[in-house]
Amino acid sequence: MQFYKERLLSPGQLKRLNEHKYSCTSVSLMDPFLQPWWNWLVSKVPLWLAPNLITIIGLVINILTTLILVWHSPDARIEAPRWACLLCALGLFIYQSLDAIDGKQARRTGTQSPLGELFDHGCDSISTVFVALSACIAVQLGYYPTWMFFQCFCAMTLFYCAHWQTYVSGTLRFGKVDVTEAQFTIMGIHVISGIFGPSVWMMEIPIPGLGTINNSAAAIFYAGYIHVFVEFCRVFESGGVGKNGSTIAGTSVLSPIIPFSFVVVPAFIIYRKSAEHVYENHPALYILAFGMVAAKVTNRLVVAHMTKNEMQYLDTALIGPAMLFLNQYFNFFIKEYYVLWLCLIWVTLDLLRYSSQVCLEICDHLKIMLFRIPVGGHRIGTSQTSIITEKNVHMVVEQEPLLDEEYHHGSDTSFDL
């Protein structure tokens, strides 16, 4: 049964999506050391638990633990309880672990599909917003609103850039210091804040010739961002894999900058022009609102990459920021705080609508189910059906080291709809 009137994906896009093959390279420093933990963890997961459900559980836990932190420090200046910081570290660890084993579970149950990659990255785009925000609250970066703005939007931008380079090169590349290392760094920040209190980060760091950095955690964030951004720029040295150095969709390698600029530029302008200082007074709410817009645009880029299609520049999620912008233009006819809440509600519902409809269209095309493993362990994309047995599971676990070289984390997860 179809629950939508107008399709978001054309038959051609669905056909190319079905033909899509996940391509990834990784030289992560930490992943090899974590593989034994991930392999042990997935061996304890019941065979009936669908891979997509694993990631959803991790994402929900990550969001809930972050919202607890936001509840206690909505302005990122109030010192959050130490137990909330430790809880956030635990939530991020659970999310990271579950995100790493969803692909392994898909291989155990023979339920890999292109939708797995799409769903996995979609969850990551949302998680990025909450992880960045929680880190800012844990170090009380609200005392430096411009730095907090820069930190959160850098995290969203670099996640977008990772998929931008995939759109250009056709391969998702992870460096020696990348996602896993960043996640464990933020876990460490939460643990330190939980043990010594968030105020421990408020020390000044002298930098010769540049003055001082007033928040030591900020130096860690920015050093990592610079490293990842330099690696991202190197992708463009050889051009794209498409015709005449274009993207996989045959478009300009610079074209993805346009839709994302429609998120970042209005966010900065509204922040700077607000007479009510809506961002400084409500930074968490502001970051979440624009973070959901960034997640929606990133999802559109992932879909464009996997379907080898041109990315549309305008998006319905931009209606949220437009409400804030127009409210400022007409001299704050409505209190900005209420408009900001309307913006958050709109973009969240729009993101959920888009994601659910795309998933429904893909599952309708691939004839797969939502949050369930097909009876008999049908392997997506083949005419072969395999019964899930303990013998099959042991065979998959034995082959895991070879598979882990092909896939990074669990991004090949099958999210069976």
354-374 tens-digit pLDDT:
999 998 888 888 877 666 776
Q: Per-domain residue ranges for the chain? A: 11-259+366-396
Is the pLDDT score of 330 beyond 60?
Answer: yes
CB atoms within 10 A of CB 333: 10
Percent of the chain topping pLDDT 70:
79
Is the pLDDT score of 385 beyond 70?
Answer: no
CA proximity to 304, closest of 270, 255, 353: 255
Indicate the SS3 state at residue 385: strand
Phi, psi of 252 (to 5 degrees): -65, 140
Query: According to the model, what pLDDT value does residue 4 have?
Result: 53
Q: Which of 233-247, 329-343, 377-391 has the lowest mean pLDDT?
A: 377-391
Q: Are 327 and 336 in contact (CB under 8 A)?
A: yes
- Return the active site residues: 121
CATH topology of domain 11-259+366-396: Four Helix Bundle (Hemerythrin (Met), subunit A) (1.20.120)
Angle (CA) 25-30-31 rounded to 5° is: 50
Cα-only R_g, the chain? 21
- DSSP states of 227-276: HHHHHHHHGGGS--SSGGG--TTSS-TTTTHHHHHHHHHHHHHHHHH-TT
Angle (CA) 36-128-143 rounded to 5° is: 120
Query: According to the model, what pLDDT value does residue 339 have?
Result: 94
Provide the whole-model pTM. 0.86
Q: Which of 134-148, 232-246, 265-279, 344-358 has the lowest mean pLDDT?
A: 232-246
pLDDT band at 218 (very low <50, low <70, confident <90, very high): low
Q: Tell me which residue has tokens 């909505």.
A: 74
**Which uninterrupted H or E stretch holds 55?**
helix 51-72
Is the pLDDT score of 28 beyond 80?
Answer: yes
The C-alpha atoms of residue 93 and residue 131 are separated, in whole angstroms, by 11
395-405 tens-digit pLDDT:
444 444 434 33
Mean pLDDT of 276-294: 95
**What does DSSP assign to residue 2?**
-
pLDDT greater at residue 41 or residue 114: 41
pLDDT band at 209 (very low <50, low <70, confident <90, very high): low
pLDDT greater at residue 59 or residue 113: 59
Is the pLDDT score of 328 beyond 50?
Answer: yes
Query: According to the model, what pLDDT value does residue 417 have?
Result: 35
**Which uninterrupted H or E stretch holds 59?**
helix 51-72
Q: Which of 28-37, 164-173, 338-347, 375-384 has the lowest mean pLDDT?
A: 375-384
Q: Are strands 172-174 and 24-26 parallel, antiparallel or unpaired?
A: parallel
Query: According to the model, what pLDDT value does residue 252 have?
Result: 83
291-319 tens-digit pLDDT:
999 999 999 999 999 999 988 888 999 99
The C-alpha atoms of residue 113 and residue 52 are separated, in whole angstroms, by 11
Query: According to the model, what pLDDT value does residue 236 have?
Result: 62
Query: According to the model, what pLDDT value does residue 204 have?
Result: 65
Q: Are 129 and 209 in contact (CB under 8 A)?
A: no
Query: According to the model, what pLDDT value does residue 136 have?
Result: 93
Query: According to the model, what pLDDT value does residue 363 have?
Result: 84
Long-range contacts formed by 341-344: CB under 8 A, 24+ apart? 341/285, 343/289, 344/285, 344/288, 344/289, 344/292, 344/320
pLDDT band at 84 (very low <50, low <70, confident <90, very high): very high
The C-alpha atoms of residue 341 and residue 193 are separated, in whole angstroms, by 29
Q: How confident is the prediction for the chain on average, in pLDDT?
A: 82
Is the pLDDT score of 411 beyond 70?
Answer: no
Query: According to the model, what pLDDT value does residue 149 have?
Result: 94
Query: According to the model, what pLDDT value does residue 261 have?
Result: 94
The C-alpha atoms of residue 313 and residue 260 are separated, in whole angstroms, by 8
Q: Are 193 and 138 in contact (CB under 8 A)?
A: yes
Is the pLDDT score of 219 beyond 90?
Answer: no
What is the SS3 string spanning 178-214? CHHHHHHHHHHHHHHHHHHCHHHHCCCEEECCCEEEC
The C-alpha atoms of residue 8 and residue 316 are separated, in whole angstroms, by 13
The C-alpha atoms of residue 189 and residue 173 are separated, in whole angstroms, by 26
**Which uninterrupted H or E stretch holds 395?**
helix 390-406
pLDDT greater at residue 202 or residue 79: 79
Q: Are strands 205-207 and 211-213 parallel, antiparallel or unpaired?
A: antiparallel
